[in-house]
Amino acid sequence: MIPIPRLKPDGAAILNTALAATGVPGTLAVANAEGILFSGTTGPFDPLKPDSRALKEDDLMWFASTTKLLTSICYLQLVDRGLLTLDTDMRTKFAPLDEAASKIIVGFEKDDTPIYKPNTEPVTLLSFLNLTCGFGMEYGPTVMRHKKRAAKGRGFVNSCKVENLIHTPLCFEPGTSFQYGNSFDWLGLMLPHLTGTSSEDYLQDNILKPLGLKATTFFPFGPDWDDRLMPLRWRRSDGVFQAIDRKSPAAMLMLPRKEEIEYVVGGGAAYSTSHDYAVILQHLLAHYVAIHNGAPRPANPILSDKSVESLFNPTLPESAIEDVAECVTHVLGEAIAPGEADWTTATAIYTPHDGRRRPCLGMPGRHAGSIGWGGAAGTLYWIDLKAGIAGGRGTYHICYLDSDVLRATGTSIHGVGDRVSLPTELVAELVRAAACLWSSEMEG
């Protein structure tokens, strides 16, 4: 049975104190299977302006790589409706993908000319969802070296420019390895083609409106958003906040101009709030609890029972286990042995050999079987089934810039730099680790 924990009378005060202790503006929302338990904010809307107003619950942040959860839900809905299966060869659904997946980079000549071999294997939907499809890491040596000599698409893959995505071929045989590459960006590009509607309209009509959410979008432009979109900042090692502009080393992380967006990047294009994310997570947690505790299903479920279950089940082949462990180790900044991490149809899952909780700050942290992921702008979400808790955290603060140097590449979105502000380390884990927060009551 999955517990239904309660926030103790002083729990909200403790969480507000923990939020303030991070030293950066931020938000946190926490839920159990019955609803939102806590939603709080700390700090100014813009730390660079002394007269800035306080941050509000409905202020928008870039949720970056946590967008992958939303994209996965979109595609699992297509599976639920019988339009796709997890085994569908996506090459048959989208001609530009078929072309890009027709060859694999296997090496380079001395002058950096790529060496290819043909690929005749399918690229399944599941391989896109669990990052084994063969498209490599943006800042990995293979993709970067390929782009030096590419005739087309030499720019940043995650740039909302179609040519930079579709002219980047496979880096390994589909289904054989795990790389934190651009598979979800392909899913973003294909979604309008598969559904006959824009990615924004699909998101609104099939996920957000059924859950009553109004603070999430792929396009935060115009009067409805302008005064609510937080300015993206980073903090130097001396604690001084800095602006990010189009000349900074993190310029590629800035919101593109609306006219620059050719397609919605499914791996990182969502703008949202911790509260909205917590509502989505609470819905998924409630659905899972209903399946396993025998409770009624949520009203207006956005996924089938089978698809909800898939969010909590490992999917990687044995050949990819070492790769995902290395990736998660890099992200968390602590050693995760092969076999202690995996990937579901949407996100990372913690699978320790001995069932231990992941340690954090000398306290017990997430339980085995917990899922979650983070984003470059200090955003994070998680669902801990054994604790019965889900949550979303946002800072809109680039955690890994120091002295104008981008100190993390590829998957190290939370791994180095200004660790004191990392949501994983100071708030998200405290939600469950601090015993004083929750009552011992269990329901169902």
Residue 420: per-residue pLDDT: 25
Residue 10: per-residue pLDDT: 85
Which of 15-19, 170-174, 225-229, 344-348 has the lowest average pLDDT? 15-19
CA dist 47 to 22, 42, 43, 278, Å? Answer: 13, 11, 8, 25
| Alpha carbons 146 and 144: distance in angstroms, whole number | 5
Which of 43-57, 157-171, 228-242, 301-315 has the lowest average pLDDT? 228-242
Four-point Cα dihedral 389, 430, 232, 48, nearest 10: 140
For residue 43, the SS3 value is coil
Structure-token pair, residue 394:
């946002």
Q: Cβ contacts of residue 138 below 8 Å, gap of 6+? A: 156, 157, 158, 181, 182, 410
Q: Is the pLDDT of residue 146 over 70?
A: yes
In DSSP terms, 44 is beta-bridged to 54
Question: Could you tell me which CATH number the domain at 11-63+220-260+270-437 has?
Answer: 3.40.710
Residue 276: per-residue pLDDT: 97
Is residue 64 a contact partner of residue 185, using CB atoms and an 8 Å limit? no
Average pLDDT over residues 218-225: 93
Q: Cβ contacts of residue 85 below 8 Å, gap of 6+? A: 79, 125
Angle at 421 between CA 240 and CA 433, to 5 degrees: 160
Residue 361: per-residue pLDDT: 39
Q: Cβ contacts of residue 110 below 8 Å, gap of 6+? A: none
Angle at 61 between CA 57 and CA 64, to 5 degrees: 140
Residue 247: per-residue pLDDT: 63
**In percent, how much of the chain has pLDDT > 90?**
62
Give per-residue pLDDT as tens, 384-443: 999 999 999 888 777 544 332 222 222 222 222 222 223 333 333 333 333 334 443 333
Residue 282: which of 383, 141, 131 has the closest Cα? 383
Q: Is the pLDDT of residue 15 over 60?
A: yes
Pairing of strands 397-398, 233-235: parallel
Average pLDDT over residues 102-109: 96
Handedness of CA 139, 145, 148, 153 (dihedral sign): negative
In DSSP terms, 271 is beta-bridged to 62, 217
Give per-residue pLDDT as tens, 325-368: 999 888 777 788 999 999 999 999 999 888 777 655 344 568 89
Is residue 225 a contact partner of residue 60, using CB atoms and an 8 Å limit? yes
Residue 359: per-residue pLDDT: 55
Return the domain boundaries, the chain: 11-63+220-260+270-437, 86-195
Give per-residue pLDDT as tens, 239-298: 788 887 666 555 666 667 788 899 999 999 999 999 999 999 999 999 999 999 988 899
| Alpha carbons 106 and 171: distance in angstroms, whole number | 7
Residue 140: per-residue pLDDT: 84
Residue 253: per-residue pLDDT: 63
Q: Is the pLDDT of residue 80 over 50?
A: yes
Residue 415: per-residue pLDDT: 24
Report the predicted TM-score, pTM, of the whole model to 2 decimal places. 0.89
Phi/psi for 222 (5° steps) reads 100, 175
| Alpha carbons 265 and 184: distance in angstroms, whole number | 7
Give per-residue pLDDT as tens, 176-195: 999 999 999 999 999 999 99
Q: Which residues of 193-211 are buried (b: 16+ CB within 10 A; e: fewer)?
A: ebbeeebeebbbebbbeeb
Please give the mean pLDDT across all residues of the chain.
Answer: 85
DSSP structure string for 258-274: GGG-SS--TTT--EE-H
Structure-token pair, residue 260:
């620059």
Residue 44: which of 58, 34, 59, 54 has the closest Cα? 54
Q: Which residue has the tokens 């947690």?
A: 285
For residue 380, the SS3 value is strand
Kindly calculate the radius of gyration of the chain based on its CA atoms and give it in whole angstroms. 21
Handedness of CA 227, 212, 1, 292 (dihedral sign): negative
